[in-house]
A and B are shown apart, each in its own frame.
Chain A
Amino acid sequence: MTRFTMLPLRLLARDWRGGELALVATALVLAVACVTAIAHFSDRLNRAMHIQSQTFLAAERVISSSRPVNATWLDEARKQGLQQAQTVQFASMLSTGDQFQFASVKAASEGYPLVGHLEMRPNSADSSRVVHGGPPSGEVWLEPRLLPLLGLAIGDRVQLGDSHLKVTGLLDYEPDSSNNLFSMGARVLMNAADLNAANIIQPGSRVRYRYLFAGDDAALDAYFKWLKPRLTDHQRVIDLREGQPRVASALDRAERFLFLAGSLAVLLASVAVGLAARRYSLRHTSYVAVMKSLGAGRGKVLRIYLGQLAALTLLATLAGLAIGTLVQAQAVAMMADFFPVDPPPSHWQPLLVGAVTGFACALGFALPPLFRLARTDPMQTLRRDWSNPDRREWLGLILGPTSMLALIWWLSGSLAITLALCTGMALLVGGSALVNQLLVRGRLSALGGSWRIAIGSLQRRAAFNTLLIAAFGTGLLAMLALVFARTALIDEWRMQLPEKAPNHFLVNVAPGDVESLHQLLADNGVTSTEFYPMVRGRLVAINGTPAKERKKQDGALRRELNLSWTDTLPADNKILEGAWWDKVDRGVSVEVELAARLNLKLGDLLRFSIGGLEVEAPITSLRSLDWNSMRPNFYMIFAPGALEDFPATYITSFYLPPEQKLLINDLVRAYPSVTVIELDRIIARIRDTIDQVSLAIESVMVLMLIAGVLVLIAGVRASIAERLQEAAIIRTLGGRRRLLLQSLLLEFGLLGVAAGLLAAAGAEATLLVLAQRVFDLPFNLHPMLWILGPLCGALLVGIAGTLACRSSVSQPPLKVLRELA
């Protein structure tokens, strides 16, 4: 290796202490680490979540059918190499001689569950254990509260149809219990091999057959593509999206948030690298001028600095990849308890993503200042002028933003995220020049003293300050957008599943039992929602046209709907069109999304068939409601009196804390006709999932805040030398420390306020696009953004700037001037 080959590396090692290279390297390391950690984390989290979410189905995909499917379907799945299992679900009576109890039975084949696990206890006193298969033939596991209801003990036999099955365990958790939310009664798990002997399924029985499949994605896709044209109206395929939309939506949004965070990491790192590289190239103008005067041509200078940049980028990228991998491994280890499944090891792709990020940031933002550096005029050695005028640099203007946007697009895979950040950044950059002009042309210097010095300093660096405001603004924009996006997401999730959201439904409550049941709940400290009357009816005609003849069919026209009436608009419901019963005295209020699907509008006449009788009512209002509220919700609400002649049952929901679970037994004993729907376990699972996703989001946000602060430091350092020199001269001329400190604080504070204001505008625009195009959330204006933006800007930039320049007031001015010379 020649001396010249080693020169870039030796200069790199020597220059490290200058600070700018350390900042370029730190920015690169942080960008690569953030993006690598996010990519690893997102990859592993996504796959873990996917596995976990599949546990909500107990499979990767499911065919749900009201009758057994053609055997050739299962043969085909076998040919494709898919794993299979089946469950048969139905309601049946369990008995033990004189005790009877209605229960929801699941008969599971070998292999169930294909994904996830069951939790059971061999004895009441034992703690729950994880098992990967149901009871063997001849045995049955019961939900714990069935034991006292039936007067049973473990080891006793229970009659189910013609069979007497031995109770060998208590069933605590089935992964797919949420798929039959409105199943009746306590849950029972038996072996599918005992079904024939039990002779329990008769023609006409209400039975749900579920065929579970798992395997390779490609094989699954091929199989379900083959199956699709063969499905009838009685069968449907369920995947995660349909099986557990709430979790699927949370995961989708979390993934998009992580991609957003990754994109912002790139944005921040790019700005930090750009600022540090610019400062580095300015500091090296004198070096290059000397080297050129000693005979180094432009090509040689470029080779030296490109060699340095390549070595620096390579080292920083390797360090970033290592740190990113370690951070995510540590994060996954710390969060291990939150994962119901072990996150699978990461693929190699996150490393590629991190490496590309490092090199793209370096090339896009560090290369243009180096090209400019290589054009340094050697005559500067004689003029002793080390300015490196910011000529219009097309390379820098095009290469930087283009590489950044391309990288963000590639990382996020989302044009919407790229557009959102573009919108915010365009506002920010466009506004920077304008705000800077207002700042320097304002009359603030008339305030005298430190104001005059601060404004004078801003005026002298007006051109560079535009860049600085844009850079500070980018840092603040990224931090604000991320904090507010995270808040909106987590708030939305929490709103969907509030702490004490109702987790039990009571249906089939006889009118005569409403009062006493309400009292029983109240006596036990349980607050229920309203008791709503419910009549089952089918929508048979719209404006006289039979529903069957409508071109646009909908599931709501093929089944009975729950019809209700009330004089009070239920909580979470909102009238969007028409009027409630306080303004009109008859008619029906229709849920707005159903109305849209059926093309219904105000005034349309709906005819319902209820128990063979028909009722007609005009639509008098369209209503929105919150399906996630865990309260009874209805597509159709009639005016009081309209349905009172029909036999109705009542429905309500309430929150029951785990320690009061046995209240359900008292309730079922006292009101045997009432059906209890228990959603507590599934809600707890969903909440766990969302909690861990929230935790992941918050961890990523902390990383991003660090990156944001790094940009602020890079910005401050980019302009520090001139400020130090001026401060030292003012001190030499007798300026007092306090005056200087005040002026520094004012100068950086004003820059921070300007950057904060622009960041608030940019973040608001970014959040608008994100809400509408990425997260599918309602957009609200964020007044706090406009307060926090300038405030954080003033504090962070003001303090960081003043601290960085403190040596100008704490050290003798001569020393400062000598060091800068």
Chain B
Amino acid sequence: MPAMLKAENIHHRVATSEGPLTLLNNISLQLARGESLAITGASGSGKSTLLGLLAGLDKPSDGRIWLAGEEITAMDEEQRAAVRARCVGFVFQTFQLLPGLTALENVMLPSELRGERGADKRAAEFLSRVGLEHRLHHYPRQLSGGEQQRVAIARAFCSISNTGSEHSDGILFADEPTGSLDAGNGEKIIDLLFNLNAESGTTLVLVTHEQRLAGRCQAHLRMVAGEITAADSASSADVLSSGNPGATA
């Protein structure tokens, strides 16, 4: 199966007042269409930075990344934005809903940014799929944390659902999706996320602290100080390339 996401020798450094700081060191991985990958690690280990680079939010200092077959590291910000608009969905720890927009409008936002017609119908359909058909016109502040995250999930799937094909070219990036929720709500959100992922055939990259959640993914990488130190399943070994010296299968 062709790689949906591929990274080669990623290094990322930032300038600080105390000199350059290495956030990621020589990371390589690849993920096939429809697969799911969990990245775990302690705070500051670089997992969210890696997620952002894989999603094309920024460019690494060194290395190359392919997303849906396109090399996003060779693109400028506008071109990367176009790739994100086409095939990337995000679920954030703190939901990141726009407080001035209703649930429906938040879900419509990606389609509106692409200038598509019929965004409202599709958004309503996704909200219905996450069980919020009765909350379409509520503002984020009127929703509970769990409901807000469901809206965010609906937005993420709506944003990558434009292809209309059975096997989506979409890839969903989730950054600690249960981090702001209690255990009960977290469980429901995870079920929803994985069910929708399975239904849509999307590829999933998940950053989490929770081992139990990571365990539901097909592959699981652990990070320490900007490096991948372990891959916790058989398929995880396939995810890794030889460039990760500390990785163990």
Point out residues on A near B: beta carbons under 8 Å. 2-4, 7, 10-11, 14-15, 17-18, 286-287, 289-300, 377-379, 381-384
Contacts and interface: CB of A to CB of B under 8 A. Distances in A.
A295 B159 contact: yes
A294 B159 contact: yes
B113 A300 contact: yes
Given A290-B98, A295-B110, A379 B85 contact: no
Interface in B185-211: none
Contact of A382 (B49, B77, B101, B112): B49
Contacts of A291: 109, 113
A17 B100 contact: yes
A295 B77 contact: no
Contacts of B108: 3
B19 interface: no
B119 interface: yes
B98 A381 contact: no
A7 B115 CA distance: 9
Contacts, number: 98
B225 interface: no
B175 to A, nearest CB: 6
Interface in B58-74: 58
A696 to B, nearest CB: 43
Contacts of B111: 3
A382 B115 contact: no
Given A3-B119, A290-B96, A378-B57, A295 B85 contact: yes
6 contacts: A287-B98, A294-B110, A294-B155, A300-B81, A378-B58, A382-B175
B90 A381 contact: yes
Nearest to A6: B112
Nearest to A17: B100
Given A294-B90, A298-B77, 8 more contacts: A3-B116, A7-B113, A14-B101, A295-B82, A295-B86, A300-B81, A378-B57, A382-B57
B81 to A, nearest CB: 4
Given A299-B78, A382-B49, A382-B175, A293 B55 contact: yes
Interface in B76-102: 77-78, 81-86, 88, 90, 92-94, 96, 98, 100-101
Contact of A296 (B58, B85, B92, B116): B85
A594 B167 CA distance: 101
A384 B94 contact: yes
Given A10-B105, A286-B96, A297-B81, A4 B52 contact: no
A1 to B, nearest CB: 11
A781 B175 CA distance: 64
Interface in B103-125: 105, 108-117, 119
B113 A4 contact: yes
B236 interface: no
A97 B51 CA distance: 117
Contacts of B115: 2-4
B179 to A, nearest CB: 10
A379 B52 contact: yes
B240 to A, nearest CB: 23
Q: Residue among B55, B88, B96, B155 with the most chain A CB within 10 A?
A: B96
B9 interface: no
Contacts of B161: none
A2 B116 CA distance: 8
Nearest to B180: A821
Given A292-B81, A295-B88, A382 B113 contact: no
Nearest to A299: B78
* Chain A interface, >50% SS class: helix
A7 B120 CA distance: 13
B58 A377 contact: yes
B156 to A, nearest CB: 9
A12 B172 CA distance: 30
A130 to B, nearest CB: 62
A378 B81 CA distance: 10
B117 to A, nearest CB: 7
A379 B90 contact: no
B84 A3 contact: no
A721 B34 CA distance: 43
A289 B105 CA distance: 17
B48 interface: yes
Nearest to B207: A382
Contacts of A293: 55, 57, 84, 88, 90, 96
Contacts of B105: 10, 14
A278 B112 CA distance: 26
Q: Residue among B86, B100, B108 with the most chain A CB within 10 A?
A: B100
Given A3-B116, A378-B57, A297 B77 contact: yes
A695 to B, nearest CB: 45
Contacts of B82: 295, 297
Contact of A383 (B48, B85, B90): B48
A292 B159 CA distance: 12
Contact of A7 (B81, B92, B112): B112
A18 B100 contact: yes
Given A300-B113, A384-B93, A379 B78 contact: no
B98 A294 contact: no
Q: Residue among A10, A295, A298, A300 with the most chain B CB within 10 A?
A: A295
B117 A294 contact: no
B52 A382 contact: yes
B57 A11 contact: no
A287 B101 CA distance: 11
Contact of B117 (A3, A18, A289): A3
Nearest to A16: B100
Contacts of B155: 294
Nearest to B118: A3
Given A7-B113, A18-B100, A294-B159, A381 B77 contact: no
Contacts of B98: 14, 287, 290
B94 A296 contact: no
Contacts of B114: 4, 295
A386 to B, nearest CB: 11
A378 B116 CA distance: 22
Nearest to B58: A379
Contacts of B109: 291, 294
A15 B100 contact: yes
A13 B59 CA distance: 35
Contacts of A297: 77-78, 81-82
A425 B113 CA distance: 42
A378 B77 CA distance: 10
Contacts of A10: 101, 105
CB-based closest 4 A-B pairs:
A295-B85, A14-B100, A297-B81, A4-B115
Nearest to A289: B96
B87 to A, nearest CB: 9
A3 B55 contact: no
Contacts of A7: 112-113
A379 B88 CA distance: 14
Nearest to A11: B100
B68 to A, nearest CB: 13
A15 B100 CA distance: 6
Interface string B22-58: 0000000000000000000000000011011001011
B105 to A, nearest CB: 7
Contacts of A292: 57, 81, 84
A382 B92 CA distance: 7
Contacts of A300: 81, 113
B100 A381 contact: no
B177 to A, nearest CB: 13
B48 A382 contact: yes
A230 B84 CA distance: 83
A292 B110 CA distance: 10
Contacts of A381: 57, 90, 92, 96, 175
B41 to A, nearest CB: 14
